[in-house]
Structure 1
Amino acid sequence: MSQTDIFDSETLVPDEVLAHRAATLLGFQQRYDRVHDQLRLLLSADKLADWSKRHHRRNLPICELVADQYPLVVFHGDVGTGKTAMAECIANRLLTEARSEDATIFRLSNRVRGSGKVGEMTTLLAEALKRVTASVGKTRRAVLVIDEGDSIAAARSQEHSHHEDKVAVNTLIQGIDDLRRYKGRIVVILCTNRLSVLDPALLRRAAIVDRFDRPSDAERRELLEMDLDGIEVTPAQITELAELTGPTGDAPGWTYSDFRTRFYPAAVARAFPDGPLRYEHLRAAATAMVGSRIMEDR
């Protein structure tokens, strides 16, 4: 694997694409407001001493404790609930508002698991952490987003856990421990569908643990109203679509991903290229689909 393959993307901040995407994420502002203060504190640990001297005329002991927290955030929830997209957009907004120059958002590739060769995953993970730390130099900042974090951070105590997996988890934990010396200039956001399988030692280090759920009835209506803007559908039809995409019997309600990667393309395909997209196309596509199965967190 080449070095460039370690990351799916390396995005310089501010990024207009991520800023635009944030506007399309339902509930982005509410979630951003909820995690903003703690994330800002994580990314500003190097400024705590100055803050303390300015407002308390000395460096308070509590500041040293706060500055030494682990720069780890965990986003968890069912598949398709927007964890990774939200992580990247939150990082972009936060770093932009902080006016961090030359900040970078890295998204770790699942290819870091390697091809199964002994020691390969550990080597690639260590290389990824090395590249992130090298990018910040003495003044810059970075956020590392890890998607499907349970694939490299599962509990070492699991019976089926191989030695290679255990060594990789040790590498990740040690890497996060080492990041504390950067005093918040590097933060890791780990996204996982299965919180319960994460290694307890890693989870104990998380400064923030935030849950993502499938959209509620009201959220599905809001999503449809936003995404179907410009299409001739009535409020009653929006409500019906929201009901069709909700939980029924043993079938779960749809995820955000179900709407945007499966439902909308299926509906547009029924209309394209001969006529406009109409409600009957949307309804037909909705009735022909079921929501993604729930990822069991155990």
Structure 2
Amino acid sequence: MTADSDLFGDVLEYPDAGAQRRFAALVGINHIKQRLVDEASVLIDPHFLEQWSAKHYGGTLNLVRVVEERTPLIVLAGDVGTGKTELAESVGDPIARRIELESLCLYPLSLSARGRGLVGEMTTLVTQAFDRVRSSLGQARDSQGKVRNAAILLIDEADAVAQSRELDQMHHEDRAGVNAVIRGVDSLRRDRVPVLTIMCTNRPDALDPAVARRAAHIFTFARPDEAERIQVLSDALAGTGIEAADIAEAARQLGPTEFRCCAATYSDLRQRFLPDLVLKAYGENVPISGDALISAAALFTPTRPFKSGDD
């Protein structure tokens, strides 16, 4: 039996104030955030959708049953640095608060769970991961059937585990691993277990079609546009006294230009550009100026877009 430390990364539990702050800090994707919380809440506990139906229609609509029959699987797809993993790791907090869970745990599947290519190994590890998450719930529902404890299984870089079986060069062991993933998510739907699987991928086209078909929703992420870059910069630079016109110019410079084919990602802005700006001013023991902001933006090199065939 494989140890949990070999199957999963750091397990996170919600509600959690740190995750709440991380979720709130994700700007520019509010439409995705809200829809994801709505989708996940209903997939984990359909009881709330039934309550909505009873309130407005006096009973449970057939349409509600259609929604409840979906597989508890959500795919977050898009370019690198657009917030997929950060959202997946923090969305458990608003979900737990929304449906009043006592506990919601996130289990990030370790990439080592792909195995070493040995016959049957990947299948065994993936199967164990689903089984371990299910067994972690204990008594998931109260006496009225309301979900009290739930879990999220996070599969980052999902195309590494659920790559299309249509590829001619695909190894037999990898095909078996994809089958194990499909069996796992199907069993969650069949047994109505309050476990949501979230897959993140930079290559949605590489996912096996049978996996993609099962997804209750596929959310597509893009790099921030100019208005969204302005919002990120404005929020971060509040209190510096930098004028709005300078922030707007920096946001423009951080987009595509005649010298740059692509815009900065959310990750570029939060993890590279803004920290570099602060540390440069700190090192020189000067305040951050509008000119310094614009100059840094003009010289910044965004993360290149992910292309099929990249490692």
Task: Give the TM-score taking structure 1 as reference length.
Answer: 0.90
Displacement, 1:183? 2.1
Matches within 5 A, 1:216-255: 216-249=225-258, 250-255=260-265
Equivalence for 1:193 = 202
Are the counterparts in 1 of residues 96 and 103 from structure 2 also a CA contact under 8 Å? no
1:290 equivalent to 2:305? Answer no
Are the counterparts in 2 of residues 43 and 185 from structure 1 also a CA contact under 8 Å? yes
Q: Distance in 1 between matches of 2:106 and 2:250?
A: 36
Q: Distance in 1 between matches of 2:92 and 2:80?
A: 21
Equivalence for 2:71 = 70
Of 251-260 and 50-59, the range deviating more from structure 2: 50-59
1:205 to 188, 198, 214: 214
Are the counterparts in 2 of residues 67 and 183 from structure 1 also a CA contact under 8 Å? no
Change in 2 beyond 3 A, CA 1:268/1:54: closer
1:259 equivalent to 2:269? Answer yes
Displacement, 1:38? 2.8
SS in 2 for 1:221: helix
Q: Distance in 1 between matches of 2:177 and 2:42?
A: 28
SS in 1 for 2:91: helix
Q: Which runs of 5 or more structure 1 residues have no equivalent in the other structure? A: none
Equivalence for 1:94 = 95
Residue 176 of structure 2 aligns with an amino acid whose one-letter code is V
Q: Distance in 1 between matches of 2:270 and 2:13?
A: 26
Change in 2 beyond 3 A, CA 1:182/1:253: same
Q: Which runs of 5 or more structure 2 residues have no equivalent in the other structure? A: 141-148
Are the counterparts in 2 of residues 155 and 197 from structure 1 also a CA contact under 8 Å? yes
Residue 144 of structure 1 aligns with an amino acid whose one-letter code is L
Change in 2 beyond 3 A, CA 1:272/1:47: closer
Q: Distance in 2 between matches of 1:64 and 1:172?
A: 24
Displacement, 1:173? 0.6
Q: Distance in 2 between matches of 1:212 and 1:188?
A: 18
Displacement, 1:158? 0.8
Residue 88 of structure 1 aligns with an amino acid whose one-letter code is E
Change in 2 beyond 3 A, CA 1:33/1:47: closer
Are the counterparts in 2 of residues 6 and 112 from structure 1 also a CA contact under 8 Å? yes
Q: Distance in 2 between matches of 1:119 and 1:2?
A: 17
Any idea what the Cα deviations from partners look like across 1:126-181, whole Å, max 9, x if unmatched? 22111110112232211122211111111011122111211111100110000113
Are the counterparts in 1 of residues 106 and 152 from structure 2 also a CA contact under 8 Å? yes
Any idea what the Cα deviations from partners look like across 1:31-50, whole Å, max 9, x if unmatched? 23233433322122356677
Q: Distance in 1 between matches of 2:106 and 2:34?
A: 20
Q: Distance in 1 between matches of 2:84 and 2:45?
A: 23
Change in 2 beyond 3 A, CA 1:217/1:128: same
Residue 165 of structure 2 aligns with an amino acid whose one-letter code is R
Residue 43 of structure 1 aligns with an amino acid whose one-letter code is I
Residue 251 of structure 1 aligns with an amino acid whose one-letter code is C
Q: Distance in 1 between matches of 2:274 and 2:112?
A: 29
Any idea what the Cα deviations from partners look like across 1:22-69, whole Å, max 9, x if unmatched? 121103543232334333221223566777678767766555443322
Change in 2 beyond 3 A, CA 1:273/1:178: same
SS in 2 for 1:136: coil
Note the aligned Cα RMSD (angstroms): 2.5
Q: Distance in 1 between matches of 2:302 and 2:71?
A: 37
Change in 2 beyond 3 A, CA 1:213/1:238: same
